[in-house]
Amino acid sequence: MKPLNRRLLIEINKEETHQGAFFVPEEEKVEEFVTAKVLSCAADCSQDYTGKNVVLHSFGVDLGGGRVIKNTFIGENHLICTE
């Protein structure tokens, strides 16, 4: 699937859960930032981010695709930094 309109197709990196000193229920945890690997980017993006790891705002993540295939898209303007 090829993203359009300054969007990136990403794969969000799954982080291991760490045991901390405090218990916070899963429903209460809200990650402000997530890391991901860019699988493909639209032709009109400012640069080609394909294959790079990025940090982005978690609120900008769009889940798209059909009933079987699930894709994760992010707008280029939600990127914080890249490698």
Give the pLDDT band (50/70/90) at residue 4. Answer: very high
Q: How far out from the chain centre does Cα 48 lie?
A: 16
Please state, in angstroms and rounded to a whole number, the distance separating the CA atoms of residues 63 and 23: 29
Count of beta carbons in the 10 Å neighbourhood of residue 50: 13
Please state, in angstroms and rounded to a whole number, the distance separating the CA atoms of residues 49 and 56: 13
Both tokens assigned to 68: 């079987």
Q: What is the pLDDT of residues 18-58, one digit of tens each?
A: 555 555 565 555 568 889 999 999 999 999 999 999 998 87
Whether residue 2 has pLDDT greater than 60: yes
- Residue-level pLDDT at 76: 92
